Each structure stands twice: as structure tokens, then as C-alpha cells.
């Protein structure tokens, strides 16, 4: 029964489309103005209509911005909300290769060492020693002192400069100008 109704509906839609198209063609053919050239008419819009259009575009844009802002705030609250009283935290990660790593995590007040591969997650050890737990918590609170970060940053910057010297064709021909500017900056710092 359903297929019969579906078939009849399809035939009715096709028939009405064909009827509309043929009536339009017949009406234009009967009047003889089907292929007659007509001069384009100048637009009849006023400055009031144009300004109303611009205002509606601006209001629509502001509405979209407002919705995007409130949606992002709502999603950020949902994503960053803790899952429970003791949400999980990754303290240390040791990558061992592609898709392999060892993690030290804290979840539900317990500290665990996990081995993670592409297929499995294995519990390697549960840390129960209070001294080890305090040491892990102290490492998280320390972070990088500014001097250490500065040293790491300069080492990385020097390695990039070495790449620039090894592959001048890749980094452009203006490396000499850059080196002169860096030399001037070094002199100013002293």
C-alpha cells in the first residue's frame, strides 16, 4: 500500500512540473514575445531600502556573533567542568615511539604508571609511597623557572639558525641581512 501511494505521489509531482513548464512555454509562444529583446530596466530601489538592507545585515552579523560567543562559553564550561570530585590529571609523559608512551597519572587520589600503546593501556605500577607522591606533586608546582626557559628558548633559536645556514636555498637569500640585524641586536644588548 505504501509503495502504491509513493508511486502515485511521484507521478503527480512529475505531471505538475511538466504542466507548469509547458504552460509557461505555450504562453510565451502564443504572444510572440518569447525571443523579443527588451532593454534592461534601471533599478527602482531607494536609499531607504538599501540602508534597511545594510542594517539588517549588521543585525544578523551581530546576532551570529552573540550566538557564537554564548555557545563557546557554554561549551567551555561543559568541557572544563570536572567529572567528579577527583578528576584525572596527567603528571608526566614519556614518549617511547610512534603511538607508544608511559604516563604517570593521578585519578581518584591514586597515582599510577600506565603503559599506553595503540591497542592497549596497561597498569605498570601503582605509586603508594608518600615520598614519591609528594615528589610528583612538587614537580607539577615547580614548572620552568624563567632562566631555564630562556636557556631552552635560546638553544632552540640557535638550532633554527643552524638550519638556516645549512639550507640557504630553502630559507631565502636574505639570510645575510637577518644575520646583520641579529648582530646589531646583540651589540645593543651588551
- The CATH number linked to 129 is 2.30.31
Range of the domain at 63: 51-81
175-189 and 146-166 are packed helices; what angle lies between their axes, rounded to 10 degrees?
150
Q: pLDDT tens digits, residue range 71-86?
A: 988 888 877 766 555 5
In a domain, 166, yes or no: no
In a domain, 97, yes or no: yes
Residue with more model confidence, 53 or 29: 53
**What does pTM read for this prediction?**
0.34
How far apart are alpha carbons 139 and 130 in whole angstroms? 14
In a domain, 67, yes or no: yes
Residue 157: the pLDDT is 79
Position 29 pLDDT exceeds 60: no
How far apart are alpha carbons 45 and 43 in whole angstroms? 6
Amino acid at each position: 500500500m505504501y509503495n502504491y501511494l509513493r508511486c502515485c505521489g511521484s507521478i503527480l509531482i512529475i505531471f505538475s512540473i511538466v504542466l507548469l513548464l509547458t504552460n509557461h512555454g505555450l504562453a510565451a509562444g502564443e504572444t510572440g514575445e518569447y525571443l523579443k529583446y527588451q532593454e534592461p530596466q534601471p533599478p527602482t530601489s531607494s536609499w531607504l531600502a538599501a540602508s534597511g538592507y545594510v542594517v539588517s545585515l549588521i543585525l544578523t552579523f551581530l546576532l551570529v556573533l552573540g550566538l557564537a560567543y554564548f555557545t563557546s562559553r557554554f561549551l567551555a564550561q561543559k568541557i572544563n567542568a570536572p567529572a567528579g570530585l577527583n578528576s584525572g590529571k596527567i603528571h608526566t609523559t614519556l614518549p617511547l615511539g610512534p603511538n607508544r608512551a608511559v604516563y604517570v597519572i593521578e585519578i581518584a587520589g591514586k597515582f599510577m604508571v600506565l603503559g599506553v600503546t595503540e591497542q592497549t593501556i596497561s597498569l605498570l605500577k601503582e605509586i603508594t609511597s608518600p615520598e614519591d607522591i609528594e615528589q610528583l606533586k612538587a614537580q607539577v608546582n615547580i614548572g620552568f623557572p624563567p632562566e631555564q626557559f630562556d636557556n631552552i628558548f635560546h638553544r632552540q633559536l640557535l638550532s633554527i639558525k643552524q638550519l638556516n645556514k645549512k639550507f640557504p636555498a630553502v630559507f631565502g637569500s636574505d639570510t645575510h641581512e637577518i644575520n646583520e640585524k641579529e648582530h646589531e641586536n646583540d651589540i645593543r644588548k651588551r
